[in-house]
Amino acid sequence: MKTGAEYIDSLRKLKINVYALGEKIEDITEHPLLKPHINAVALTYDLAHNPQFEDLVTATSHLTGKKINRFTHIHQSTEDLIKKVKMLRMIAQRTGSCFQRCVGFDALNALYSTTYEMDQALGTNYHQRFLKFLLYVQENDLVSAGSMTDPKGDRGLRPSQQPDPDQYVHIVSTNDDGIIIKGAKVHQTGIVNSHEMLIMPTVAMSEQDRDYAVACAVPTDAPGVIHIFGRQTNDERKLGGEIDQGNARYGIVGGEALTVLENVFVPWDRVFMAGEYQFTGMLVERFAAYHRQNYGGCKGGVSDVVIGAVATLAEYNGVAKASHIRDKITEMIHLVETLYGGSIACSAEGRPTKSGAYLVDTMLANVVKQNVSRYIYEIGRLAHDIAGGLIATLPAEKDLHHQEIGKYVKKYFTGVDQVPAEYRIRVARLIENMTGGTAQVESMHGAGSPQAQRVMILRQANLEHKKKLAQYLCGILNEC
């Protein structure tokens, strides 16, 4: 297993083609826009070597029997699913940010069981190809970026109906050696500092969409791959200073990018679906369930930091003992534990797939993410209520340290006596950056929009059975 330093060193060896703010980045490990996100991933490596967290962050490979980083593991039990959620909350508590390995983790697990069932039904050999790739990932302790979201173009049209065929990743051509794919993936968390990307379809396909039914593994620095790093709220603060960033070490959210695939060649041993449209729905739904499982863990951990920051600022403001402050903090805690409880529940209710790998309870996983799309906003609202308006109007870090005016910033932004104004400003900046802009939007749309979860919730609710229960109790039916 790699250490954090070894992971960062491995990134330097990549020839990744990345642009940010209109300029090509030569060394992603030193660029201020990317460095915090890389630090967050590096922590997932270092924690695997920490005896205190070893049980959560490592697992035993069912392929080799070796100890591996859990982010490369295939779930073998409900215990694995539960440990995943506990691990995510623990790491989020220590980063206060996205640590980016979850998407690839979930893609590995979704592809494992889907390729198995595809082979069983169609007589293909995708699962054996995938096992070879999985072993490569485990042996080299790689970061995989799960790449599902396509630009989609006109949402009212199927992939094959788009005026521009590249709005969904598709197979351009095939030959004896492999396939050529073209298109793009958008909003790709952590992809710029990943080793591999797992390309997957973003919707269930029909027969006319056959060319768009493609899943494969592509190195992030493969020829024809171009990454365009996305803007985040307050990202220019990373270009200078430290306090104004709020969380300078690990950043906010996960460093998303637009990844262009311009006629990228993929050899057959890295292709895990090529036209089998019948299994696109299974792959999408399983990936989505795994990914929605996460949010009570990672968002729970991040929200633990927000609660701690708000409680600290309340102390610095001199209002920590006020009953309404205590009541609002209690509500924030209640919301976080509700999210976490949902993630634990969908894990505990998981079941084995035909491959032997475990899948979460998909209904409960969708409920978790539906709640996240609401509760995180309420947690943020309560944080803003308690913290006060200064989180939106503070002078800059340069003003705080200015030779002439710094004394006024320190004087008039002091709260309770004995607490330096800088401490109050630091925690206020943390709250500002963790509860606004990009961080909130990711809670809404990460792992799919709220409507996507509502579609799945209704689909899996077994409404007909519920109707029969009611009809039996009121005497319409004799049995149910």
- pLDDT of 437: 84
**Contact assessment for residue 171 and residue 206, using Cβ atoms and an 8 Å cutoff:** no
Q: How many CA atoms lie within 13 A of 77 on its CB side?
A: 7
- CA–CA gap between residue 477 and residue 471 (Å, rounded): 6
Count of CB atoms situated within 10 Å of the CB of 122: 12
**Is residue 195 helix, strand or coil?**
coil
- pLDDT of 164: 98
Catalytic residues: 98, 102, 189, 256, 291, 295, 298, 442
* 185, β-bridge pairs: 259
**Contact assessment for residue 368 and residue 88, using Cβ atoms and an 8 Å cutoff:** no
pTM of the full structure: 0.96
Tens-digit pLDDT string for the chain (480 aa)? 999 999 999 999 999 999 999 999 999 999 999 999 999 999 999 999 999 999 999 999 999 999 999 999 999 999 999 999 999 999 999 999 999 999 999 999 999 999 999 999 999 999 999 999 999 999 999 999 999 999 999 999 999 999 999 999 999 999 999 999 999 999 999 999 999 999 999 999 999 999 999 999 999 999 999 999 999 999 999 998 999 999 999 998 889 999 999 999 999 999 999 999 999 999 999 999 999 999 999 999 999 999 999 999 999 999 999 999 999 999 999 999 999 999 999 999 999 999 999 999 999 999 999 999 999 999 999 999 999 999 999 999 999 999 999 999 999 999 999 999 999 999 999 999 999 988 889 899 998 989 999 999 999 999 999 999 999 999 999 998
Question: Which amino acid is it at 332?
Answer: M
Q: Which long-range contacts (CB under 8 A, 24 or more apart) does 58-67 make?
A: 58/1, 59/83, 61/138, 63/131, 63/134, 63/135, 63/138, 64/135, 64/138, 64/139, 66/138, 67/1
CATH code for the structural domain at 290-472: 1.20.140.10
* 229, β-bridge pairs: 257
| Cα dist from 443 to 148, 231, 368, whole Å | 17, 17, 12
- pLDDT of 252: 86
- pLDDT of 454: 95
Look at residues 253, 278, 192 and name the one whose alpha carbon lies nearest to residue 227. Answer: 192
Which residues, 6 or more positions from 133, have their beta carbon under 8 angstroms from its beta carbon?
Answer: 217, 269, 270, 272
- pLDDT of 194: 98
What is the residue whose two structure tokens read 């396939």? 179
- pLDDT of 253: 86
Alpha helices in 29-154 (DSSP H): 35-46, 54-57, 78-95, 102-122, 126-140
- CA–CA gap between residue 376 and residue 335 (Å, rounded): 8
Count of CB atoms situated within 10 Å of the CB of 262: 13
